[in-house]
Amino acid sequence: MVNCHILLVCFPAQGHINPSLQFAKRLLQMGAKVTFSTSVSAIRRMSQVASTIPELTLASFSDGYDDGWTSAPDVQAFMLSIRTFGSEALTNLIMDKENEGHPFTHMNEIFTGENSQIIELPGLPLLLSSSDLPSIMHPSSPDAYSFALPAFKEHFEILDRAGTKQKVLVNTFDALEFQALRGINKYDVTGIGPLIPSAFLDGKDPLDTSFGGDLIQKTVDYMDWLNSKDKSSVIYLAFGSYFKFSEQQMEEIAKGLIRSQKPFLWVTRADNTLDRYMKEVENQALIVPWCSQLEVLSHPSVGCFMTHCGWNSCIESLASGVPVLAFPQWTDQITNAKLIQDFWKTGLRLTATDGGIVMADEIARCLESIMGGGERGEDMRQQAQQWKMLAKEAVKEGGSSNANLKVFMDQIVVDSHE
């Protein structure tokens, strides 16, 4: 039994907890390693477990009601919530143990759902569930996305026809994706990023303050508003140029932000209307049609970036050292959100209900975890600052991206003389 590691997952009710703990004791006595998992609220109240069963490992998961199931509006809402949250949390726990080299060898029946299938891909530092894959790879992907895989296939065919190991330059850096960059042997995949203006990164060119290709012009001066806010107090929200939220989702986001009681700067399209909330948030928020994202992310008042997790937004948040509340919608955003939460550890991913809506309580809860004074938020802030430092190191003289780009340029010079 030395190599036996058993995961016991327990519904957070006394009638379930008591026999489950007794079962755990028996397993421990027989030489097994046991991890006991139940909700955050239950673990908090089980104060005697550590002294009573010191050999038992505890692993809590959020059921969506961390103050206890009685805070749920009704039993049906709680059951839906625990299924949604529990499925993802337990899948992550299982994969984390796999990645640590201490996998569970046996598990009691756990929550079932789409997340149950575990996928391993070469070069990726994490195991993935099916729900972590880019949406275009799902059989249920809308017809509107059907162009994507054929387009990628065509790009690879072009590279293959070149006949030699082609160099592919990527907006990333070695420290961020070391394993992934080396996991593709067929091509010479090389990180040369972050590709963002120097003024926001290494500072070698302080006049380089924008990309220079903005398709939308600034119409609202938001800098004075940011200057008036305390350090790390502002939530910045931007969800890309294309996605439009449903009216219900916009309402839940607005309510979650209001409940957070934090000032927020929200970049939103004109057709994502917030008119009904303007009066209520006028002293808490600034809502604009466009802003310079790096200018905002680099401002000391910004403490959290609520984002759709497009790659540019991800790498800009990392280079700026800002923790993230991940709200992915489609394509690679979903996998990026997985990396943010479980590998780079700079933020949290919001969990939607079965109906696909992220509720206000979930938004407010995650914002408090990130921006509050707790240990988890502090860990995310420290991780964000560490990635900021590594991003700067990559582009400095002698840094990985700087060196990679020089090698590329040197090869171009050689080829031009042949």
Residue type, position 144, single letter:
A
C-alpha dihedral sign at 338, 342, 346, 351? positive
Cβ 199 vs Cβ 206: under 8 Å = yes
Question: C-alpha distances in angstroms, 336 versus 134, 244, 313, 330?
Answer: 9, 20, 10, 10
Mark whether 102 is an active-site residue: no
The tokens describing 221, both together, are 């001066």
CA dihedral 142, 329, 171, 305 (to 10 degrees): 170
Euclidean distance between CA atoms 63 and 276, whole angstroms: 31
Pick the closest to residue 294 from 238, 245, 350, 368 (CA basis). Answer: 238
d(CA 258, CA 367): 11
288/278 Cα distance (integer angstroms): 12
Catalytic residue (choose from 16, 106, 155, 299): 16
- Residue 168: in which H helix or E strand, if any? strand 167-170
Name the pairing type of β-strands 128-129 and 118-119: antiparallel
d(Cα 369, Cα 304) in Å, to the nearest integer?
Answer: 11
- What is the 8-class DSSP label of residue 417? T
Task: Kindly give, in sequence order, each residue whose CB lies less than 8 Å from that of residue 150, ignoring residues fewer than 6 positions away.
Answer: none
Integer-rounded Cα Rg, in Å, for the chain is: 24
Active centre residues (catalytic): 16
